[in-house]
Chains A and B, each alone.
Chain A
């Protein structure tokens, strides 16, 4: 065993850091650091900077404009980006649809859609969940009925993250009702400009607009927009989810969050001493740091096991649970670290250009709403309960 990066990997890391130093606009990293809301334009700007470098699609093979990086390289990249407060890339096109098209799409679909993901022409969102179908995704009801060379789609999707910015949505739709639920699902690519589609905002508990409901009323979708075979969509859907879950582990985000927490705990005072010296607080911080140390390696072990580009299997469930629990614990500690200043909240202070003096320490304002917002981490992408079911079935054989 060798737990160090190889010489080439260190060189790669240095290259990534240099790139971030040169190319990551400070305006963006300041926003990420201060938890200021990123606009659509901000996210697009960062995508195009990465794309110019050829570093946008870290998971894709070179042939399709990806980096062809090894899992370790991807990890190095993610960690360095988080440490530099780079915006996270929007995962729907890059991390989810991309791999599905590469594995299951037609050459034509790949040629058409993949470059448009890279150059920012298309912003994708994910139409899986429905009001009645969350954990039990296979029970989904949105109908697609064949009509010549089109499908007519009717139904409703929900929790569509950043759907308000998207011009395309990939959807699971029911194309057969006369069979086992998993067997009658197809995977459709739908242009959001098609008549009959309506997007309505859902406001989350922290007062943000991040998710949406999407309604389909007799929406006409060309059959050529189907990925793979009719009624075989479940296979592709599951393949996509393993990618979604690994992304959610967010080791880089946790490392960065922990650093931020330490800065705060050094600055906050308890009886005239830095909070970081308080044995109760120090203990909890150390525990989460130790968990994260282990998680880093678990993550690398899983990644190393899938060297060669395959999707991780049930192991991704492990990464998702552990990764999200750690991130949530860091959010919780950060909230606690603020003491009473965890309470004040000025919504406008999350907008770029707000220049009133902060209430309490300048880092305080977004902390509690982040804590609440990140409760989502253990719910979406297949809830942590569902991941445990997967682990007990797939890994333990129970």
Chain B
């Protein structure tokens, strides 16, 4: 057994961690998160230049990584900086689907993606689908050689800034069926694409996207007509791993800051870390964050394996991360007292991100139910 990352990944980790420390400090992050653009094109280009996007794709797709542990390394650092740039939508979900299903012609876009010239978003969730992956009511109807899309996609992460949307739509079957879902590459500026852009509570960019008779050519179809579910599930698994690693990175920061606070904040003439009531809670926090790290490692290791193993591992990760995340965020705020409630201080922004990550790609309850279902299927 070897729980160390290999040399390449260690380098990747060092590069990104230095970048975040030096070029993406808290003040810079808050400025970017507060601006209308949703992210900084300049930072995006710099990180592309450093090879961060390439590290999320496999060699055959033009990258130099793309395995579970690459995702883990990159997203942990993204979490440590609460980086708002659209890595998830562009490189993991959108990019992952193009890499998985795209024809050579379609995959050409990945060069631009890896180079930082183009961003993608996965427009999949709908107002009533919650976290279900097969609950798709957006329709794709054949029209001549092409298709016409109609529907409402909700809370699309990075949807506010993406150049190209990967849109899921139903070509056949009933609302919850896994069969009958297809994927389309849609230009975000296409006629009939109506975007409502907004920021999220934790400072990220997202959009609700209404598709009204959006006409796309046959070449927009990614993969087959209606068999996209397996690829969606796989890309989502990668997304779950990424988000879990991101949460882990953010939790590490929050844990360190809280520990530091317990050592330096004096009340009753002693550092508050002298109070056993807080010592035990800090000890629990440490333990749970280590558990979180282990579950992320499990998910990273299972990512390229057999479907059932993979899905159980990512559901386990997302469930545990959700539980630990809430504990860490709430305890950190509590143990900081009033300071933990302030905008000016960085820690609460990490806490907000950690809590909001539970609302992406399935929350604690969703993945608990799914884990149970997958276990009984085994």
**Which residues from B are CB-within-8-Å of A346?**
198-199
Is the pair A205, B343 in contact by a Cβ cutoff of 8 Å?
yes
Query: B137 to nearest A CB, angstroms?
Result: 11
A25 contacts the other chain (CB 8 A): no
A14 contacts the other chain (CB 8 A): no
**Which residues from B are CB-within-8-Å of A376?**
341
Tell me the nearest residue of chain B to A376, going by C-beta: B341
B201 contacts the other chain (CB 8 A): yes
**Which residues from B are CB-within-8-Å of A206?**
201
Tally of contact residues, B, Cβ under 8 A: 52
Q: Which of A343-364 contact B (CB under 8 A)?
A: 343-346, 359-360
Q: How far is A114 from B320 in the complex, measured between Cα atoms in Å?
A: 54
Mark contacts of A115-139 with chain B using CB atoms, 8 A cut-off: 1 yes-contact digit, 0 otherwise.
Answer: 0000000000000010011111001
If A359-B196, A360-B154 touch, does A272 touch B341 (CB 8 Å cutoff)? Answer: no
* A-B Cβ contacts below 8 A, count: 140
Tell me the nearest residue of chain B to A158, going by C-beta: B338
**From B130, B196, B344, contact of A203 by CB (8 A):** B344
Is the pair A359, B208 in contact by a Cβ cutoff of 8 Å?
yes
Q: How far is A383 from B355 in the complex, measured between Cα atoms in Å?
A: 22
A215 contacts the other chain (CB 8 A): no
Is the pair B201, A368 in contact by a Cβ cutoff of 8 Å?
yes
Tell me the nearest residue of chain A to B131, going by C-beta: A339
- Determine which residue in B204, B338, B356 has the highest number of CB atoms from chain A within 10 A of its CB, and name it: B338
B278 contacts the other chain (CB 8 A): yes
Is the pair A271, B125 in contact by a Cβ cutoff of 8 Å?
no
**Which residues from A are CB-within-8-Å of B135?**
271-272
**Which residues from B are CB-within-8-Å of A89?**
none
B348 contacts the other chain (CB 8 A): yes
Q: How far is A130 from B51 in the complex, measured between Cα atoms in Å?
A: 48
Query: B38 to nearest A CB, angstroms?
Result: 13
Is the pair A204, B341 in contact by a Cβ cutoff of 8 Å?
yes
**Which residues from A are CB-within-8-Å of B190?**
none
Is the pair A343, B356 in contact by a Cβ cutoff of 8 Å?
yes
Is the pair B199, A345 in contact by a Cβ cutoff of 8 Å?
yes
Tell me the nearest residue of chain B to A159, going by C-beta: B338
Tell me the nearest residue of chain B to A275, going by C-beta: B130
Q: How far is A136 from B176 in the complex, measured between Cα atoms in Å?
A: 57
Residues of A bordering B, CB below 8 Å = 129, 132-136, 139, 158-159, 202-207, 211, 268-272, 278, 280-281, 332, 335-336, 338-346, 359-360, 368-369, 371-372, 375-376, 378-380, 383-385, 388-389
Please name 27 pairs of A and B residues whose Cβ atoms are closer than 8 Å in the assembled complex, sorted by A: A135-B267, A136-B267, A136-B269, A203-B344, A204-B341, A204-B342, A205-B340, A269-B130, A270-B132, A271-B132, A272-B135, A280-B369, A338-B359, A339-B130, A340-B125, A340-B131, A340-B154, A341-B154, A343-B359, A343-B360, A344-B208, A345-B198, A345-B201, A368-B356, A371-B355, A375-B330, A375-B340
Residues of B bordering A, CB below 8 Å = 125, 127-128, 130-132, 135, 154-155, 175-176, 196, 198-202, 204, 206, 208, 266-269, 272, 275, 277-278, 326, 330, 333-334, 337-338, 340-344, 348-349, 351-352, 355-356, 358-360, 363, 365, 368-369
